[in-house]
Amino acid sequence: MNVGILGSGGREHAICFCIKKSKNVKNIYCLPGNAGTSTIAENIQIDMSDFHAIKKFTEEKKIDLLIVGPEKPLVDGIVDFFLDTKVKIFGPNQAASQLEGSKIFTKKLCEKYNIPTANFGIFQNPNESKIFLKKTNYPIVIKADGLASGKGVYICENKKDALIAIDEIFAGKFGEAKNVLIEEFLTGEEMSFFIVTDGNDIKLFNTAQDHKRVLEGDKGKNTGGMGAYSPSRLINIDLENKIINQIIHPTLEGLKEMKIEYSGFLYAGLMIKNDNPYLIEYNVRMGDPECQTILPRLESDLTNIILACCEKKLNEIEIKWKKDNSICIVLCSDGYPEKYKKNVLIKNLEKINTDDKNYCFHAGTNIIDKKTYAVGGRVLNFVSLSSNFSEARKKIFDSLNNLNWNEGFYRKDIGYKVIDK
């Protein structure tokens, strides 16, 4: 079988690594991939938004299975675009991808089906929004409706911040805005909760805790994710049942009532307060860096899971997990998440030892003349598995010391909630 993987981040390198282990897979093409994927698959330079070019490529290379990593092509309808082809494409269709593509779509669904989430209001213009602000308490959360690469969310401590958020959103900072979402600020601890579904059955796909802020102690700007650990320290069978029964099932059933079938990974970003889950947001894909910390814990064959999903046979398989915990630390370029240098040489990669407990997944990297360069803000993901979170983290620190890349930085406190108590 020939497999295509769409995307170029750490998530896609981790997916590629798992697919590569499968006996049934012959060729893997990463569209466009990164330096890491180029060592285990073939990278193809292609514009991820050019669906015609991608389709043509899948025909030329006789691709049987196309796995979509990031949200943008899903929200833009790549799955619908491939409906008339023989290619099995893994991910939700455009209607289902509204769960991530429109925060307001999701909030309305929550309202209709009593799914626990922050109280909210939807406002059509700056004036209406500002009138609402007169009678509100702070902090408050203001969000642009559509995809904004994680940047369209403002946590506002006071009215001044809130006015800036409203003006920026309506001025089109995140694309044309017909409305804004204003939400109650939820307190508690966050958890990333994953399932995989074929439209009929759902299977759990484990949990993780991301660390979104750039500085230690969860301070500073929001980033794409500075590291993660898995499983979340919060998960237990009672909470799992609440999440499935109060959030996941009503969502998928609600979609079905709208004649929308959901298939693929579903990632619920949750706030857990007093052992109760509240939905912050949905993503229609695996998380990054959650994927890098979860997949090495997977005992079962990822290709089989994905194929079972495409063939609506998820009920026929069992998903098994290793007992070990895992930690992922992201090495970033100096300056990230603001301006950072591009095309910075990374030496010493050959000094990184990898085995079945220690992994190095690439993100923003590129190979030119057999040399690896950092080209993105998040550069490398170091993952380690152990029964003991602290040991896993020590192993990663050893790898980072061996690499000794002095053009970048990483958070030394990833997993502090399960280690530095």
Closer residue to ligand GLY in complex, CB, 4/70: 70
Q: Residue 144 binds what, of ligand GLY, ligand AMP, none (CB under 5 to 8 Å, by partner type)?
A: none
Dist. CA 91–CA 261, nearest whole Å: 11
Closer residue to ligand GLY in complex, CB, 12/210: 210
69 binds ligand GLY (CB under 6 A): no
Contacts of 236 (CB under 8 A, 6+ apart): none
285 in Cβ contact with 265 (< 8 Å)? yes
Residue 119 CA to chain centroid, in angstroms? 24
Q: Taking Cα atoms as reference points, which of 236, 232, 249 lies closest to residue 276?
A: 236
Closer residue to ligand AMP in complex, CB, 66/144: 144
100 binds ligand GLY (CB under 6 A): no
Question: For residue 247, which amino acid is it?
Answer: I
Q: Which residues of 203-239 are buried (b: 16+ CB within 10 A; e: fewer)?
A: bbbbbbbbbbbbeeeeeeeebbbbbbbbbbbbbeeeb
Helix, strand, coil share of the chain (percent; to 5)? 30, 30, 40
With contacts defined by CB under 6 A, how many residues of the chain interact with ligand AMP? Answer: 12
| Least Cβ distance, residue 207 to ligand GLY (angstroms) | 12
Only segment of 174-182, 287-295, 325-333, 354-362 that touches ligand GLY (CB under 6 A): 287-295
Extract the tokens encoding 347. 């030496």
Total length of the chain: 421
Give the CB-side neighbour count of residue 164, counting CA atoms within 13 A: 10
Query: To which residue do tokens 């040991």 refer?
Result: 391
Q: Residue 65 binds what, of ligand AMP, ligand GLY, none (CB under 5 to 8 Å, by partner type)?
A: none
Q: Residue 77 binds what, of ligand GLY, ligand AMP, none (CB under 5 to 8 Å, by partner type)?
A: none
Query: To which residue do tokens 């579904």 refer?
Result: 197
210 binds ligand GLY (CB under 6 A): yes
Contacts of 39 (CB under 8 A, 6+ apart): none
Contacts of 128 (CB under 8 A, 6+ apart): none
Closer residue to ligand GLY in complex, CB, 64/288: 288
Only segment of 69-77, 183-191, 369-377, 382-390 that touches ligand AMP (CB under 6 A): 183-191
97 in Cβ contact with 88 (< 8 Å)? no
| Least Cβ distance, residue 183 to ligand AMP (angstroms) | 4
Residue 71 CA to chain centroid, in angstroms? 8
169 binds ligand AMP (CB under 6 A): no
141 binds ligand AMP (CB under 6 A): yes
287 binds ligand GLY (CB under 6 A): yes
Closer residue to ligand GLY in complex, CB, 64/290: 290
Q: Residue 287 binds what, of ligand GLY, ligand AMP, none (CB under 5 to 8 Å, by partner type)?
A: ligand GLY
Dist. CA 315–CA 382, nearest whole Å: 33
Q: Residue 198 binds what, of ligand GLY, ligand AMP, none (CB under 5 to 8 Å, by partner type)?
A: none
183 binds ligand AMP (CB under 6 A): yes
* Distances 404 to 383, 399, 400 between C-alpha atoms, Å: 17, 9, 6
281 binds ligand AMP (CB under 6 A): yes
Q: Residue 153 binds what, of ligand GLY, ligand AMP, none (CB under 5 to 8 Å, by partner type)?
A: ligand AMP
Applying CB under 6 A, the residues found at the interface with ligand GLY are 150, 210, 225, 283, 287-288, 290
Applying CB under 6 A, the residues found at the interface with ligand AMP are 118, 141, 150, 153, 183, 185-186, 190, 212, 269, 280-281
